[in-house]
């Protein structure tokens, strides 16, 4: 039985990215979760860090524990696991908190049991890692794929699993504002419209397609122009306190575009320079404060590292996956 700990880290993620509902995801630099594990006689799990109070600390209830159970089932590993989850990403804020715990747990499992993990392949690994997300907010692959693959991920299909991963230029900057209120994914999905007009559908397809090209090319002005979403953001913005004022403040401060991160409550602005991102971050913080809401802000760029490199080492940054 191994005595040493294996630790893995997974970044925060911005899902949807405007018109790419349940399809697009960006890994970002900054907030992250980490999971450490080692073999043990029986399962145990502890949670540490500034965001620890918001998540369950029982092995079978924590998303990391759920993923590790799925990994054992998929790989045939039978040993118990001692787990420590270090939460650095706030829950219920639209930054992929549960996905980061899932991804970090899966990556720590890969480090602990490399041979067994490699045998299930990339698709099997992603599916097992997604089990934690399924227990919290449904079987969505955008955040989990972003956290495991880094960069910009686009999900074409989940059954079969079809996705592509690209790097994003450091010329594109982000200002992120995290207000001190929670909007759960489950509740925010309830307000989505059942039907979409032809005009709105065409708009979203056109903007999502062009946004993907702009992100890969590093064209911040074009990317910002294409963040408009006519499907999820209009109804969700009604539940996000201060949305209109914060959006206007960010754009007035020099941002190229603005959108909700995931299902909220976090919002982000896209900028062409670090300075514009910093000005936008301050403007968003002040706009939230004017309505009595405290918001933490930071500026960042896309995290193009590839955490799952051990399984995709031969594919490079333009990684794609198509399953039967």
Residue 190 lies in a domain: yes
Q: With both helix axes pointing from N to C terminus, report the angle between 97-112 and 121-137 in degrees, rounded to the nearest 10.
A: 140
Q: Are residues 220 and 269 in the same domain?
A: yes
Q: Are residues 129 and 185 in the same domain?
A: no
Contact predicate 112/40, CB 8 Å = no
Q: Are residues 152 and 225 in the same domain?
A: no
Please provide the average confidence, as pLDDT, over all residues in the chain: 93
Q: What is the pLDDT of residue 3?
A: 60
Residue 227 lies in a domain: yes
Residue 1 lies in a domain: no
- Name the pairing type of β-strands 80-86 and 6-15: unpaired
Is 278 one of the catalytic residues?
no
Residue 283 lies in a domain: yes
Q: Are residues 101 and 241 in the same domain?
A: no
Q: Are residues 107 and 209 in the same domain?
A: no
Q: How far apart are CA 40 and CA 58, in angstroms?
A: 16
Q: Are residues 295 and 307 in the same domain?
A: no
Residue 119 lies in a domain: yes
Domain span holding position 279:
173-300
Q: What is the DSSP letter of 39?
A: E
Name the active-site residue from 131, 133, 166, 278.
133
Q: Are residues 141 and 52 in the same domain?
A: yes
H-helix or E-strand containing 176?
strand 173-179
Q: Are residues 191 and 266 in the same domain?
A: yes
Is 82 one of the catalytic residues?
no
Q: Are residues 233 and 277 in the same domain?
A: yes
Contact predicate 146/140, CB 8 Å = no
Q: What is the pLDDT tens value at each position of the chain, 324 positions in all? A: 346 899 999 999 999 999 999 999 999 999 999 999 999 999 999 999 888 887 888 999 999 999 999 999 999 999 999 999 999 999 889 999 999 999 999 999 999 999 999 999 999 999 999 998 888 777 789 999 999 999 999 999 998 999 999 999 999 999 999 999 988 888 888 999 999 999 999 999 999 999 999 999 999 999 999 999 999 999 999 999 999 999 999 999 999 999 999 998 999 999 999 999 999 999 999 999 999 999 999 999 999 999 988 888 777 788 889 998
Q: What are phi and psi of 101, to 5 degrees?
A: -65, -40
CATH number assigned to the domain comprising residue 283? 3.30.70.890
Q: Are residues 208 and 60 in the same domain?
A: no
Residue 110 lies in a domain: yes
Q: What is the pLDDT of residue 140?
A: 82
Point out which residues pair with 176 in neighbouring strands.
268, 298
Dihedral of alpha carbons 79, 80, 85, 91, sign: positive
> Residue holding tokens 């500026």?
299
72: tokens are 């054992």
Number of domains observed in the structure of the chain: 2
Q: Are residues 150 and 225 in the same domain?
A: no
Q: Are residues 68 and 143 in the same domain?
A: yes
Name the active-site residue from 185, 266, 297, 300.
185
CATH number assigned to the domain comprising residue 40? 3.30.230.10
Q: With both helix axes pointing from N to C terminus, report the angle between 121-137 and 142-149 in degrees, rounded to the nearest 10.
A: 130
Residue 31 lies in a domain: yes
Residue 318 lies in a domain: yes
């Amino acid at each position: 039985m191994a005595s040493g700990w294996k630790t893995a880290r997974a970044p925060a993620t911005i899902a949807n990215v405007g018109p790419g509902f349940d399809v697009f995801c960006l890994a970002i630099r900054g907030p992250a979760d980490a999971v450490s594990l080692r073999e043990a006689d029986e399962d145990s799990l502890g949670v540490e860090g500034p965001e620890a109070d918001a998540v369950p600390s029982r092995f079978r209830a924590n998303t990391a524990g759920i993923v590790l159970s799925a990994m054992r089932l998929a790989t045939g590993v039978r040993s118990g696991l001692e787990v420590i989850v270090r939460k650095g990403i706030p829950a219920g804020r639209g930054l992929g908190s549960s996905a980061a715990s899932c991804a970090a747990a899966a990556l720590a499992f890969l480090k602990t049991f490399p041979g067994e993990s490699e045998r299930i392949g990339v698709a099997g690994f992603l599916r097992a890692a997604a089990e934690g997300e399924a227990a919290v907010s449904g079987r969505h692959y955008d955040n989990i794929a972003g956290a495991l693959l880094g960069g910009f991920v686009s999900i074409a299909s989940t059954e079969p699993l079809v996705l592509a991963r690209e790097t994003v230029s450091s010329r594109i900057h982000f200002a992120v504002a995290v207000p001190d209120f929670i909007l759960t994914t489950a509740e925010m999905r309830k307000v989505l419209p059942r039907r979409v007009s032809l005009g709105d559908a065409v708009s979203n397809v056109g903007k999502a397609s062009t946004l993907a090209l702009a992100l890969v090319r590093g064209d911040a002005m074009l990317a910002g122009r294409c963040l408009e979403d006519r499907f999820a953001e209009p109804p969700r913005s009604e539940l996000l306190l201060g949305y209109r004022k914060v959006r206007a403040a960010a754009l007035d401060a020099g941002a190229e575009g603005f959108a909700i991160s995931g299902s909220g409550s976090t919002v982000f602005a896209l900028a062409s320079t670090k300075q514009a991102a910093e000005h936008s971050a301050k403007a968003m913080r002040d706009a939230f404060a004017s309505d009595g809401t405290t918001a933490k802000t930071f500026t960042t760029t896309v995290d193009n590292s590839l955490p799952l490199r051990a399984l995709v080492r031969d594919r490079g940054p333009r990684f794609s996956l198509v399953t039967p």
